[in-house]
């Protein structure tokens, strides 16, 4: 499955004929053609790694990643409220 996804993304990147905008910096133009293939390759490696470890460990890392977003959002909201109240 991961290999198929990687091949599809590689073919899509080869078929893309869009040129990057002229106002982009040189490094952006260099990375633009292979960006999707690089992301697909990274995700395939991550998937292979996750499939090799125990399901409980995978679920633990997934739960930590999923819970970090609301926790950070709440911390930012708390900080913003403290700042707003201190300015009053």
Domain spans of the chain, in order of start = 1-52, 55-88
Choose between 74 and 8: higher pLDDT.
Answer: 74
Query: Between 22 and 57, whose confidence is greater?
Result: 57
Is 87 or 24 the better-scoring residue by pLDDT? 87
Angle, nearest 10°, between helix axes 2-15 and 35-52?
Answer: 180
Q: Quote the pTM value.
A: 0.43
Q: In the predicted model, what is the mean pLDDT of residues 53-58?
A: 85
Q: Which pLDDT does position 38 carry in this prediction?
A: 92
Q: Which of 82, 10, 80, 81 is nearest to 43 (CA)?
A: 10
1-49 tens-digit pLDDT:
778 888 777 777 766 666 777 788 888 888 887 888 899 999 999 889 8
pLDDT greater than 70 at residue 58: yes
Q: Of all residues in the chain, what percent are helix, strand and coil, respectively (each to 5)?
A: 80, 0, 20
């Amino acid at each position: 499955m991961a290999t198929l996804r990687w091949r599809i993304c590689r073919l899509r990147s080869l078929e893309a004929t869009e040129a990057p905008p002229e106002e982009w910096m040189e490094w952006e133009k260099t990375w633009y053609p292979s960006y999707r293939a690089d992301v697909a390759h990274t995700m395939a490696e991550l998937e292979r790694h996750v499939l090799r470890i125990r399901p409980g460990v995978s679920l633990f890392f997934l739960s930590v990643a999923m819970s970090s977003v609301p926790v950070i959002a709440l911390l930012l909201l708390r900080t913003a409220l403290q700042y707003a109240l201190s300015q009053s």
